[in-house]
Amino acid sequence: MDIKVEGKPIAEVDTDALIMLGFEGAAPEGSTSALSKELYDAGEFSGKSLEIAILHRPAGLKAKRLVLAGGGKRAEFNPAELRKLSGAMLRALKSKGVRNIVMALDEPFRSDDFAAAAVEGALLGDLEANRYKTDPKKNEKQVTSFSVLGGSQAAVDRGRILADAQNFSRNLANEPANVLTPTRLAESARELAAAYSLECEILDQDRMRQLGMGALLGVAQGSAEPPAMIILHYKPSATPSTKDHLGLIGKGVTFDTGGISIKPAEGMEHMRFDMSGGAATLGAMRAIAQLKPKIPVTGVIPAVENMPGSRAQRPGDIVTSLNGKTVEVLNTDAEGRLILIDALTYAQRLGCTHLVDSATLTGSIVVALGHVNIGAFTNNQPFLDKLMAAAKAEGEKMWQMPIDEEYKEALKSDFADLHNIGGRPGGSVTAAMFLKDFVNDFPWVHLDIAGTAWLEESKPYLAKGATGVGVRTFVRLAQNW
């Protein structure tokens, strides 16, 4: 899709669809006010969130359609709401065969954040998870151009970079596990690094064994697919004014059967999304390479497949992690935390001073927060505050969870330093406490994205499948450092 800035007056815009924002209780002002009022007065439009009304061949406009897009209450309208609205409008208009769209922003919303959000919403809404459908008509209805009237070129460019990066993550996570193996995920990282001038290093199984990554290798040993530790480095062109070094660690389980502690069959197909944290890390590194923040950023993705093969890890096995601590594996389906502890330790060895891990880690977080908020845990409140400010600016909802020392009691083992599960009560918290034991005193945030990494049903603004959650937050965190 071609993304542009529209510079003509509204009346002169020649397009298939001209989108205007409408709010509850007030028709848009300006050259379209009479036309908009007509739709309000007829009861065809009230301005409610994501509502749409279309006026064909509007008098006094060159546009073929005037589209009123519902923004809800004007006082509560923000870039996050515009992002959703833009996606919903694009999906609705695409289904009607519209090919060219211009979104006109009212004067109060002609800022870079709003313009970028409009572009992001359109590009995110445009993606369909239909790569493997053979229907020759699947791509007949396509929007070829989306323009923003009332935005700067820099804002539009930033929106395109972020949305393309998020869609890159979504496409990766949507791939079936027979296609996206740990090896193929590592190849995707190499290709990304070559395209965007990032440094890339892939640790193979032998190298990880030499280093002593016993926790990760224990998870991987049941699969015929070899594991990979993916490392991407971004270095700013100028010498940083700070010694801070951001580490983004993403869980990369390309398929999770649960291993010997096998999952129920129902819903197991969703476990191709178990590498969504890794996909978000790769997407963020892609955008970071283009937007060039002033601090170094390293992405680390431990990539494995968790299978119940004849060599698979057994409940009761004891493994030695990279930092030397031993773990008794009581449940092989609590594998994400095992691969993450070796990745977190390795990120520290690479010089990262601030760590953020992103993982579809527990079903417990879904019980606690549903599919709306990411669960956020930390050992450093100022660092979490900084990350949550970035998340709020990008419209990615997070909720801080407790991480009191009392929860660690549930992880005590009689046979090793700790075991990998703490029982059903507070499952997401004990999982975070397990990770915390391996970050030492480094400022660290753990994001449990199990409830937000994919949609089981389409939204008006986003297709069913992977969401790419976290990408925009990570990028803004680095840019705002």
Whole-angstrom CA distances from 339 to 262, 278, 287 are: 18, 12, 25
CATH number at residue 80: 3.40.220.10
Residues in the chain: 481
Is the predicted pLDDT of residue 83 greater than 90, yes or no? yes
Cα torsion angle, 374, 379, 385, 390, sign: negative
Clarify whether residues 365 and 465 are in a common domain: yes
Assess if residue 223 is contained within a domain. Answer: yes
The pLDDT tens digits of the residues spanning 92-135 come to 999 999 999 999 998 889 999 999 999 999 999 999 999 999 88
The pLDDT tens digits of the residues spanning 46-58 come to 999 999 999 999 9
The pLDDT assigned to 31 comes to 60
Clarify whether residues 85 and 167 are in a common domain: no
Determine how β-strand 246-250 pairs with β-strand 297-306. Answer: parallel
Looking at 101, 121, 148, the residue that finishes a domain is 148
DSSP 7-50: -S-GGG---SEEEEEEBTTB---STTHHHHHHHHHTTS----TT
**Active-site residue identified among 94, 337, 436, 472:** 337
Assess if residue 406 is contained within a domain. Answer: yes
Clarify whether residues 94 and 237 are in a common domain: no
Residues 6+ apart with CB under 8 A from 432: 377, 401, 403, 446, 448
Residues 6+ apart with CB under 8 A from 442: 348, 352, 353, 354, 355
Clarify whether residues 49 and 102 are in a common domain: yes
**Active-site residue identified among 263, 325, 392, 397:** 263
Give residue 88's identity as a one-letter amino acid code. Answer: A
The pLDDT tens digits of the residues spanning 348-403 come to 999 999 999 999 999 999 999 999 999 999 999 999 999 999 999 999 999 999 99
- 87, with CB counted inside 10 A (0-12, 13-18, 19+), is buried
Looking at 108, 125, 148, the residue that finishes a domain is 148
Clarify whether residues 410 and 268 are in a common domain: yes
Catalytic (active site) residue 131: no
Domain count within the chain:
2
Assess if residue 157 is contained within a domain. Answer: no
Catalytic (active site) residue 91: no
Assess if residue 153 is contained within a domain. Answer: no
Assess if residue 303 is contained within a domain. Answer: yes
- d(CA 119, CA 92) in angstroms, rounded, equals 16
Assess if residue 154 is contained within a domain. Answer: no
Domain assignment of residue 92, given as a range: 2-148
CATH number at residue 343: 3.40.630.10
Clarify whether residues 259 and 385 are in a common domain: yes
